[in-house]
Amino acid sequence: MPFFQSPLLFLLLFLSFSCTQLSCTGTEIQALLAWRSSLNHPGCLTHAWSYNTSNDPCHWEGIGCDEAGSIISLTIIRCSINGTLHKLNFSSFPYLTILHIEEEQNLHGEIPKEIGTLRNLQVLYLYDNKLTGEIPATISNLSNLSNLTIAANYLSGSIPSAIFLNTSNLHHLDLHDNNLTGEIPKTIENLSKLEYLGFSDNHLTGAIPRAIGHLTRLTKLYLDNNELNGRIPLEIGNMTALQYALFNDNNLQWELPATIAQLPNLSSLILKNNQLNGSINPYLGNNSYLEAIDLSNNNFVGMVPSALCRGGGLLMLWASNNSFNGLLPTTLKNCTTLILLELNTNNIRADISLTFGVHPVLTVVDLSENRFYGRLPSNWAENIVILNLEENEIYGKIPLGFLNSTQLQLLSLANNNLTGDIPEELTNSTSLIDLILSNNNFSSLPYIQAPKLETLHLSNNIFVGRFPLLQINWATLVTIDLGENKFSGEVPSWIGSSFPVLRILRLRSNQFIGNIPLQLSMLNNLQWLDLSNNNLTGPIPNILSSMHSMAVQIAQNRSYFDLHFIYKENIHLIWKGEKATYQENTALLNEIDLSCNYISGNIPDDLVKLQGLIFLNLSRNQLSGVIPHNIGNMTSLEILDLSINHLSGNIPQSMSHLTFLDTLNLSHNNLTGQIPSGTQFQTFNPSVFSNNDGLCGFPLPNNCSTNNSSIVHEVNNEEGDKKLEVIWVICSVILGFVTGFWAYFGALFWNISLRFAIFHFMDKMQDKMMKWFGWYLH
């Protein structure tokens, strides 16, 4: 009987070639092992896919089989493999439904187009690898695909429009964080079951296709951080399942379609950082349960949509940096769920006393840079942490019970029209870090006892009286700004010992009297000392030169003010002749301004030790003596104003070593001598040196008449030489004339025979001429 005709033998042969549960040596395992050996490094697969671990490959880690023993899932997560997918024979896995490779930092190369042979694939999940190249169009063959995630890789090229033609089972489509370019394909309209669409963090361009309106089951739409332009299509109103829509950080333009207000499930709408304009449908929020709306950094106009809180669940509203001009009182009145409200930098004109109701969880409010008016409300936010109302038109007094909050960290009421006193409940707050009340008409200040206070800005009010009582030994206070008030009395000496971390002391434009306290030199961290425009007398204490923080250039460690992320320091000064506001660069500036006082005596020599000092203004005082000889040691000095004093002596030559000096004023003093030359001194206007009678040399028109001035001296010599020449010529002419005259007539006078000879000769000549003349006439 022939071998192959025996049914039993045939069965045995068949069984040996099929994949059984007990000993699977079929093509699937072979393909896996072949791929593993193609890798540069197999990582954990050496151990995970080993017959030592388990006889049955279906029990190997990451491999899942069905009842027939065919591989249906392949999962590789954080396995440290190093290689590509190129040698993975996809056609060996006809039953594969899940391919999941995640966090393989060394899985590179392209996705092979053979992946399209995995006909049964339902989940293709390739996340956080280093895959490159384009998305293979063959994915369009995967008609059973329900989850396509190729995110956080390095894919490039555009999304092939073909892949959505046959993959209508897709529920989850995630391609975020790649380098994809091109437009979003219109074929996306075929994905009628799609619930999640994530294209964030790519370089997609073009407009959002109107086809997107067909995605009626989509709950999450993430298109943020791309380069999309054009309009948001009004078909978005058809996406009735939409809950989360992120469009931020694109170049979207035109208006927000009014249809967006009809979406019944919309919960979060983030539009920040686009160029959207026009006004927003006031019914936005009427039909759904909005939680978070971010409209900031666009060009929206008109009213802030009034229905935003209608759903009863609004948590966060950002609308800053637009051109909104109104806010209805009903918008926020009953918004008791509100946690965050940012409407700053708009043009909103509204009565702030009508804007709020009671907001138990309201934590952050920023209404700055608007036109809110009216009086401050009270008892409205008991848990508030940040309240910024600066630059509005709010008036009246701070009411009792304004803020019952025990959490308040930043309060800014600056740049309003507020009056009256500062309530103790504010200045005694145990949580308060920044208190900014500048540019109002506050008149009275209680004892300030806030133990965590870091910045105190009271400038430009009408406070009177002595330097305010501040609790001694505040380890936290960094900035004291009392400028532009009517404080009087002496600058207290206890400042020096009380504020170990003080960096900014600004007492400018008050009526302080007396001497500058020596103890100020104990402020080891002081960078900014502005005592200008007061009535201070006495000398500049020599000990100021021991201020450590001004002795060195501030290094890159500008960390203090940057860490202070809640509020960026805002200091006003006159910088290079113009008003300026220092904000981000505050941490880097070392300045001393003692100008406009009655300070007398010398400029201490030791002041030149302050090598980190950038700005020094001692102008408009009664300083006398000389400018310190070694002023060239102050190598950071950029602005130096010593004008309107009684300084005498020369301008030190070392001043020409200051290569950063760009603003200098030495005018109105008694300085003498040659102006130094070289480097920066060749760039200053003569006005910088004016009204100093004895100064000479470039750039002043008057030259110095000493031996040291070489070119000027030579010119003088030349002129003298010329004069001498002329005199010699005249002398020699006169001499020659006199000699000639007397030689002739002298002879005539003193020698008779010579006289006769001459006259005889002349007679003869006369006869000859008469004869000749007579002959001519005939």
Q: Which residues bind another protein (CB under 8 A)?
A: 244, 267-268, 289, 291-292, 294, 297, 313, 315-316, 321, 339-340, 342, 344-345, 363-364, 366, 368, 388, 553, 555-556, 558, 565-568, 575-578, 580-585, 588, 614, 638, 659-663, 679-680, 682-683
Rounded least distance, CB 588 to another protein, Å: 5
Rounded least distance, CB 648 to another protein, Å: 28
State the amino acid at position 228 in one-letter form. L
Nearer to another protein, 268 or 378 (CB): 268
3-state secondary structure string, 426-482?
HHCCCCCCEEECCCCEEEECCCECCCCCCEEECCCCCCEECCCCECCCCCCCCEEEC
Rounded least distance, CB 679 to another protein, Å: 6
Nearer to another protein, 565 or 776 (CB): 565
Helix (H, G, I), strand (E, B) or coil at 519: helix
Rounded least distance, CB 583 to another protein, Å: 6
Rounded least distance, CB 619 to another protein, Å: 18
* Cα 187 to Cα 215: distance, rounded to the nearest angstrom: 11
Nearer to another protein, 39 or 340 (CB): 340
Helix (H, G, I), strand (E, B) or coil at 777: helix
Lay out the sheet containing 441-444: strands in order across. Answer: 373-375, 393-397, 417-421, 441-444
Nearer to another protein, 300 or 582 (CB): 582
* Cα 557 to Cα 42: distance, rounded to the nearest angstrom: 45
Nearer to another protein, 588 or 758 (CB): 588
Nearer to another protein, 87 or 371 (CB): 371
Contacts of 665 (CB under 8 A, 6+ apart): 619, 640, 641, 642, 643, 688
* Cα 253 to Cα 610: distance, rounded to the nearest angstrom: 53
Nearer to another protein, 345 or 459 (CB): 345
Burial class of residue 203 in the structure, from the number of CB atoms within 10 Å of its CB (0-12 exposed, 13-18 middle, 19+ buried): middle
Q: What stretches of 279-367 show up as alpha helix (H) in DSSP?
A: 329-333, 352-355
Nearer to another protein, 235 or 638 (CB): 638
Contacts of 662 (CB under 8 A, 6+ apart): 576, 638, 639, 680, 683
* Cα 515 to Cα 500: distance, rounded to the nearest angstrom: 21
Of 475, 394, 476, whose CA–CA distance to 435 is shortest?
A: 476
Would you give the distance in Å from CA 748 to the centre of its chain? 105
Rounded least distance, CB 249 to another protein, Å: 12
Nearer to another protein, 560 or 575 (CB): 575
Burial class of residue 697 in the structure, from the number of CB atoms within 10 Å of its CB (0-12 exposed, 13-18 middle, 19+ buried): buried
Residue 75: both structure tokens together: 């999962």
* Cα 572 to Cα 581: distance, rounded to the nearest angstrom: 4
Rounded least distance, CB 432 to another protein, Å: 16
> Which residues in 468-561 belong to E strands, given as ranges?
479-481, 486-490, 504-506, 511-514, 528-530, 535-536
Contacts of 125 (CB under 8 A, 6+ apart): 98, 99, 100, 101, 102, 147, 149
Nearer to another protein, 28 or 369 (CB): 369
Nearer to another protein, 109 or 699 (CB): 699
Nearer to another protein, 159 or 386 (CB): 386
Rounded least distance, CB 568 to another protein, Å: 6
Of 539, 540, 538, 537, whose CA–CA distance to 529 is shortest?
A: 540
Of 63, 53, 79, whose CA–CA distance to 19 is shortest?
A: 63
* Cα 221 to Cα 200: distance, rounded to the nearest angstrom: 9
Rounded least distance, CB 297 to another protein, Å: 6
Nearer to another protein, 235 or 342 (CB): 342
Nearer to another protein, 382 or 662 (CB): 662
Helix (H, G, I), strand (E, B) or coil at 448: strand
Helix (H, G, I), strand (E, B) or coil at 742: helix
Rounded least distance, CB 384 to another protein, Å: 12
Residue 420 pairs with which residues in a beta bridge? 442
Determine contact, residues 96/124, Cβ cutoff 8 Å: no
State the amino acid at position 717 in one-letter form. N
List C-alpha distances in Å: 694 to 460, 488, 681, 733: 41, 39, 18, 45
List C-alpha distances in Å: 13 to 26, 28, 560, 592, 693: 13, 19, 79, 97, 119
Q: Position of tokens 């025996």?
A: 6
Nearer to another protein, 49 or 582 (CB): 582
Rounded least distance, CB 368 to another protein, Å: 7
Rounded least distance, CB 255 to another protein, Å: 22
Nearer to another protein, 496 or 632 (CB): 632
Helix (H, G, I), strand (E, B) or coil at 128: coil
Determine contact, residues 170/193, Cβ cutoff 8 Å: yes
Rounded least distance, CB 251 to another protein, Å: 13
Taking the chain, what is the end-to-end CA distance rounded to the nearest angstrom? 182
Rounded least distance, CB 453 to another protein, Å: 18
- Element housing 641 (H / E): strand 639-641
Rounded least distance, CB 407 to another protein, Å: 13
Rounded least distance, CB 74 to another protein, Å: 29
Nearer to another protein, 220 or 508 (CB): 220
Rounded least distance, CB 468 to another protein, Å: 25
Determine contact, residues 111/126, Cβ cutoff 8 Å: yes
| 138-174 burial code (b ≥16 CB/10 A, e <16) | bbbbbebbbbbbbbbbebbebbbbebbebbebbbbbb
- Element housing 33 (H / E): helix 27-38
Rounded least distance, CB 274 to another protein, Å: 13
Nearer to another protein, 44 or 566 (CB): 566
